[in-house]
Structure 1
Amino acid sequence: MRTHVISSRFLFVCLLGLIVTLAACGQATNSQTSNSTPANSATTPTPTPALDNYGTPIAIPKTVPLRIVSLAPSISEILGALELQNRVVGVDAFTNYPASMATIKKVSSSTGINVESIVALKPDLVLSSGGLSNKYDTQLTRLGVQVVDLPSPDLAKTLDQITLVGRLTHTEDKAQSLVKRMQQQITQIQNTIKGTPAKKALLEVDNSTPGKPYVFGGGSFGDEMAQYTNVTNIFHDNKTNGGYPQVTDESVIAANPQYVILTEDPLYGGQPSAVYKRANWGNIEAVKSHQVYHINSDIMQRPGPRIVQGLRCLAQIVHPDKFSEKLPAYCAANV
């Protein structure tokens, strides 16, 4: 019997999706009461502090952090965009962008985080996201390391998280400038495709088990991308596996998508040419009209500065008549 191994990259995505689901449930049971101060009161309400992944108020460092460790690739990309590479002393195993961040010492592997390596780097700030380091956060804190495990944001709140990382690293002005540019680009993309008819699409995450692909389902980051770009995700109503359900070829064929968007590594099914050879897929509209594409999974999945690229790629693929330029090379890049 031939055995198919799901990529470690996809296992990371599945773990993140499950953590997001559990975190959402926790937040729902810990909603804050509203401010009872009368509207005409002269008292100025105290701003609500940002909360970490555990619902605890985040304390902004009083001094500039000079030795930072990132335990999530999305955080690494934010730090890179804020030009903080010279302050980062350690990153997680999945950090691969920007190139200057990818070469920094790795403090984790696909099997877990190396606490000893982190402590040895003597960091003054460790940043994580979505509970990816929850098995180690308490241990690191007891060893005197300041850990801030940020909640996994949805697409809209990604901009807020970039601003928060700016506050934590004392680069708030630069973060606000970045967020402003990103918001302008998102608005421009949405204005460009405004009024276009929605198109049905399969958003595939992993096809390492032929005939049973994993896909972006409801509540996933890819599903949000689809909603922002006027794309109808054929599995929007399927929220199993934390928003990353494993489906069947039969269900894909029955949904008959107009576009097939692959986001996995070519080793695990992310080759458009291979889709045309899949058994019984020949009558799917996307296959018949040769509308099968590959988009770098990182720009479709990571809540960081490159979400704008992911939105642009998806919007231009599905609504090509609204864009005069060629499809950017970063759409199908490996990092």
Structure 2
Amino acid sequence: MMRVVSHTCSNTEIVCALGCAAYLVGVDQDSDFPAAVVGPLPKLGRDLSLDIPAVKALHPDLVLSSQTLPGHETLVEQLLAENLPTLVCEPLSLDDVYADIRRIAQALDVASRGEALIAEMQQAMPAVPVVSDAPKVLVEWWPKPVIAPTRDSWATDLIERAGGCNPWRDVAGKSVPLTDAQVLSAAPDIVVMAWCGVPLHNYRSEIVRRRAGWEEVPAVRHDRIHAITEAWLGRPGPRLVEGYRALRELIGAAGG
């Protein structure tokens, strides 16, 4: 049986969704789903503190890594320097997520399952026609400073598939820090807290409400400040479907 080490939550969840959970011999510290699968597995460090010697000691046939954060490239270099067979994911768009699922499925010799998973996700996330007055959605990756997804982000794709508009969709890059003035100018109709690395029970709408001037933001005026776990929006894998569904519900309720 193939021995696989996964270095990111999304890769872990992709492996499991492909029916290959039994291949996993180690995961990163943040992989927490499915709990029954990852619970007993060795935890090999967080994001930029992956324990390379511990990875090597597991004798993996494949290491699934990532370059989604600055600094990941150094870890990838270290994995390759140890001659560990490594597949690196760096998705930007939703199509990139599908492409990574396809590559991982091929590497695990379950290509047909990969195609089936992609088709299942696509069917579960139908594109809602976007109208000219579609609700504007601010997804917050971080609360201070407010950081929002931009053009090169699967989150922007999800917002638009769900019938909304990301006011920063034309800004180059993955994300951008925003000033209060920029948010006031954009006037989002919905604010979604999806704070990276923060447990859902620690999301607080009052943090959004008490920002200077934000009482004029339509989302605040109309009490449309919502929490969607970062596990559904920030992990480029199968559970983006749950993020889409949550966005669709909020956007639909706002008239989109």
TM-score of the aligned structures, taking structure 2 as reference length: 0.86
Name the counterpart of 2:50. 113
> Structure 1 CA distance, aligned partners of 2:24 and 2:46?
18
Contact 1:200 1:259 in 2 (8 A): yes
Q: Does 1:296 find its partner at 2:229?
A: yes
Q: CA deviation at 1:99?
A: 1.1
Q: Aligned to 2:101, what secondary structure does the other structure show?
A: helix
Q: CA deviation at 1:131?
A: 6.6
Deviation string for 1:85-114 (max 9, x for gaps)? 221011122212221343221222354221
Deviation string for 1:229-265 (max 9, x for gaps)? 23221222333xx432111112212222111111113
> Structure 2 CA distance, aligned partners of 1:172 and 1:267?
34
Q: Aligned to 1:231, what secondary structure does the other structure show?
A: coil
Query: Which runs of 4 or more aligned residues in structure 1 lie more than 4 Å from their structure 2 counterparts after TM superposition?
Result: 266-269
> Structure 2 CA distance, aligned partners of 1:121 and 1:178?
28
Deviation string for 1:265-298 (max 9, x for gaps)? 3689832243233332212211111111111112
Larger Rg: 1
Q: CA deviation at 1:302?
A: 1.8
Structure 1 residues 166-205: aligned runs within 5 Å: 166-187=105-126, 190=127, 193-194=128-129, 197-205=133-141
Q: Aligned to 1:90, what secondary structure does the other structure show?
A: strand
Name the counterpart of 2:89. 150
Deviation string for 1:67-87 (max 9, x for gaps)? 100112211110111222221
Q: Aligned to 1:148, what secondary structure does the other structure show?
A: strand
Task: Give the 3 Å change call, closer, same or farther, for CA 141–288 of structure 1 in structure 2.
Answer: closer
> Structure 2 CA distance, aligned partners of 1:252 and 1:184?
33
Identity of aligned residues (%): 26
Q: Does 1:124 find its partner at 2:61?
A: yes
Q: Could you tell me which amino acid in structure 2 is paired with residue 246 of structure 1?
A: P
Q: Could you tell me which amino acid in structure 2 is paired with residue 93 of structure 1?
A: Q
Superposition RMSD in Å:
2.6
> Structure 1 CA distance, aligned partners of 2:96 and 2:183?
31
Q: How many residues align?
A: 250
Q: Aligned to 2:125, what secondary structure does the other structure show?
A: helix
Q: Aligned to 1:282, what secondary structure does the other structure show?
A: helix
Structure 1 residues 136-147: aligned runs within 5 Å: 136-147=75-86
Q: Which one of the candidate residues 220, 229, 237 is aligned to 1:287?
A: 220
Contact 2:92 2:174 in 1 (8 A): no
Q: CA deviation at 1:142?
A: 4.3
Task: Give the 3 Å change call, closer, same or farther, for CA 101–130 of structure 1 in structure 2.
Answer: farther
Task: Give the 3 Å change call, closer, same or farther, for CA 266–76 of structure 1 in structure 2.
Answer: closer
Task: Give the 3 Å change call, closer, same or farther, for CA 284–269 of structure 1 in structure 2.
Answer: farther
> Structure 2 CA distance, aligned partners of 1:143 and 1:171?
26
Q: Could you tell me which amino acid in structure 2 is paired with residue 137 of structure 1?
A: V
TM-score of the aligned structures, taking structure 1 as reference length: 0.67
Structure 1's unaligned 5+ residue stretches are 1-64, 324-335
